[in-house]
Structure 1
Amino acid sequence: MSAFNAIGEEREIDRDEFTPEIEPQATWCPGCGDFGVLKALKQAMPEVGRTPEETLLVTGIGCSGKLSSYFKSYGFHSIHGRALPVARAAKMANPDLEVIAAGGDGDGYGIGGNHFMHTARENHDMTYIVFDNEIFGLTKGQTSPTSPKGHKSKTQPHGSAKQPIRPLSLALTSGASYVARTAAVNPNQAKEILTEAMEHDGFAHVDFLTQCPTWNKDAKQYVPYIDVQDSDDYDFDITDRGEASEMMQKAENALYEGEVLTGRFYHDEDRPSYQEEKQATGDMPEEPLAERYFDDDYEWERSYDLLERHK
């Protein structure tokens, strides 16, 4: 069964389908928040109605990069900070695939920060899960882009002199059309948010707080948390960009003061995705490009033919 004849198949889907037949032994540390991401993702897939054959998971380097080893689907383990360009290419070649990219805060907000901004700006139709534990975990505890100012680590033994990056605000200002934050300690909310993110047509960014009990004991386990949609203390319109921005700043300030605010922060349902924009201008075919590899009768276009049109 290929990724093409499996897409759109009507059948019941079970979360266990996303567990590899020969399940590898997870090498995440006991108590790691990454287990929460894996569980929430497996629970969300039946809600979205996607099978392993309809799904592509692209991961970066770091503890988060192991996600594709424990999740059964089409997978690609990319190099550091490059999960998004790989995911973008796959989605453009086969738009019917459910494309998910995943990486850590160092991978996504640091090394791959430029890809993060421009993928959001262009509003590519995919879900980007960032495992945010405020530390470089796989390389044994270096300061990351989300580590709080003053945080001491191997690379900043006297404490970080830099303010942490603000992931939610960065996603919004860059152009993401769905922005949310959840936490590994809130599995029900995590499943719901991942489901919404995958069902969203456009770039969906999920800042997923994942505790690191081994290398970042300062962050504890991100509890207690407050769901901003359930709390009477926070009333804002997630479809209003200005109100969303103000709420994101509150959440990002509160995180380093010991208050964890999670939930949906922004949702723009009307903005066309990158694929829709390119198809509207005629720069992208309606037929998935990848399907041409299965069409023996297709007459391939050559680059010199395309260049002739612009003379």
Structure 2
Amino acid sequence: MSAFSAIGNDREVDQNEFTPGIEPQPTWCPGCGDYGVLKALKGAMAELGKDPEEVLLCTGIGCSGKLNSYFDSYGFHTIHGRSLPVARAAKLANSDLEVVAAGGDGDGYGIGGNHFMHTARENHDMTYIVFNNEVFGLTKGQTSPTSPQGHKSKTQPEGNAKAPIRPLSLGLTSGASYVARTAAVNPNQAKEILVEAMEHDGFSHVDFLTQCPTWNKDAKQYVPYVDIQDSDDYDFDVSDRREAQEMMHETEDALYEGTVLTGRYYVEEGRRSYQQEKRHRGSMPEQPLAERYFDDSAEWERSFDYIDRHK
């Protein structure tokens, strides 16, 4: 039994099934990297054989927040920086859903940074795509948490006085069990990484470089790029935290020096996701909460049933 009839269907899926009929054509600026995220996400879902009704896409505010307007699945357009707590709640209620959260670098690493840190620490089983264009795009080009030091904008006309955060390192130290970086200019790698991220059991953090030709002309197109898995110049063990950390540090330095490194940086296998850990400890029922709404014979617990445990 499933709370959604499409879950578990074994069939071939065409990526065009994720194109909505009401607003099929995105309205991002010409040349925007967000088109690359949308294409890669559609392709990844089709490759995984996911039905649109098996998927929930939660987005924040900003240009990236328009993603679920152009992606036909269940969707929740949250307030600024709050896509992750909504996505977490949905996954806890129905663990069979393929849950994807998405937001920009300001949305995810700025106002939503605390949610990002703790969702990674708890290892919730979902994929988080952060559109990283090093600028606030929707609100016309203000400095963001990933803007390089010295970058001039409306909010920092004399140049950004702050060093940018390190997204990959932040994901790793917070506790994400899958960390990768890809770019809109590398569509094949982007699709492959999103497939891996969604197949991974645990919290998958994908830092997705998306060029903003309108408001961030410094970043240009993030080309040329180097896939660290295909290059002989980089050799490290993605399952080793220390080696992954060193490679991330090198990658984050290189970006602002003009070298774009992308690929898989850290993959931790065997660690229980938050949902699995809760079930292992007996504090979460095997039957998803969402299914109880469709099961007349389901027994519902109430908080007062557990009060005696704390006496």
Q: TM-score, normalized by length of structure 2?
A: 0.98
Q: Give the count of matched residue pairs.
A: 310
For residue 75 of structure 1, what is the aligned residue in structure 2? 75
1:90, 1:235 → 2: CA distance? 38
The aligned amino acid for 1:20 is: P
Runs (4+) of structure 1 exceeding 6 A deviation are none
Partner of 1:217: 217
Kindly indicate whether the alpha-carbon contact (under 8 Å) linking 2:102 and 2:131 is maintained by their aligned counterparts in 1. yes
Cα distance in 2 for partners of 1:3, 1:254 equals 46
SS state of the match for residue 188, structure 1?
helix
In the alignment, is the contact (CA less than 8 A) between 1:6 and 1:54 conserved in 2? yes
SS of 1:102's partner is strand
Unaligned runs of 5+ in 2: none
**Conservation of the 8 A alpha-carbon contact between 2:3 and 2:294:** no
Mean Cα deviation higher: 219-228 or 9-18: 9-18
Structure 1: which 5+ runs fail to align?
Answer: none
- In 2, distance between residues paired with 1:3 and 1:177? 28
> Is this contact kept in 1: 2:3–2:290, CA < 8 A?
no
d(CA) in 1 for partners of 2:96, 2:307: 29
Aligned to 2:114: 114
**Conserved 8 A contact 1:3-1:97:** no
Equivalent residue number for residue 197 of structure 1: 197
Contact 2:166 2:252 in 1 (8 A): yes
> Which residue does the alignment assign to 2:127?
127
SS at match of 2:121: helix
In 2, Cα distance between the equivalents of 1:281 and 1:288? 16
Q: After superposition, what is the alpha-carbon deviation per residue over 1:186-219, rounded to whole angstroms, capped at 9, x for unaligned?
A: 0000000000000000000000000000000000
| Contact 2:126/2:198 (8 A) holds in 1 | yes
Identity of aligned residues (%): 81
For 2:150 and 2:296, the matched residues in 1 are separated by: 61
Distance 2:5 2:309 in 1: 34
SS of 2:292's equivalent in the other structure is helix
1:151 corresponds to 2:151: yes
Secondary structure of the corresponding residue to residue 138 of structure 1: coil
Any idea what the Cα deviations from partners look like across 1:77-109, whole Å, max 9, x if unmatched? 000000000000000000010000000000000
The alpha-carbon deviation at position 230 of structure 1 amounts to 0.4
In the TM superposition, residue 152 of structure 1 has moved relative to its aligned partner by 0.6
Shift of 1:3: 5.1
Instruction: Determine the structure 1 residue equivalent to 2:19.
Output: 19
1:3–1:289 Cα change, 3 Å = closer
Contact 1:132 1:146 in 2 (8 A): yes
Using the alignment, how far apart are the partners of 2:127 and 2:245 within structure 1? 20
Instruction: Output the TM-score relative to the length of structure 1.
Output: 0.98
Q: Structure 1: how far apart are the matches of 2:269 and 2:14?
A: 28
Q: CA deviation at 1:304?
A: 1.5
Letter in 1 for 2:91: K
Q: Find the aligned partners of 2:308 and 2:56 in 1 and give their Cα distance.
A: 35
Given the alignment of the two structures, is residue 98 of structure 1 paired with residue 98 of structure 2, yes or no? Answer: yes
Aligned 8 A contact 1:123 1:274 in 2: yes
Partner AA of 1:163 in structure 2: A
Residue number in structure 1 paired with 2:281: 281
For the residue of structure 2 that corresponds to 1:217, the secondary structure is coil
Query: What is the CA distance between 1:308 and its match in structure 2?
Result: 3.0
The superposition leaves residues 60-84 of structure 1 with CA deviations (integer Å, 9 ceiling, x where unpaired) of 0000000000001000000000000
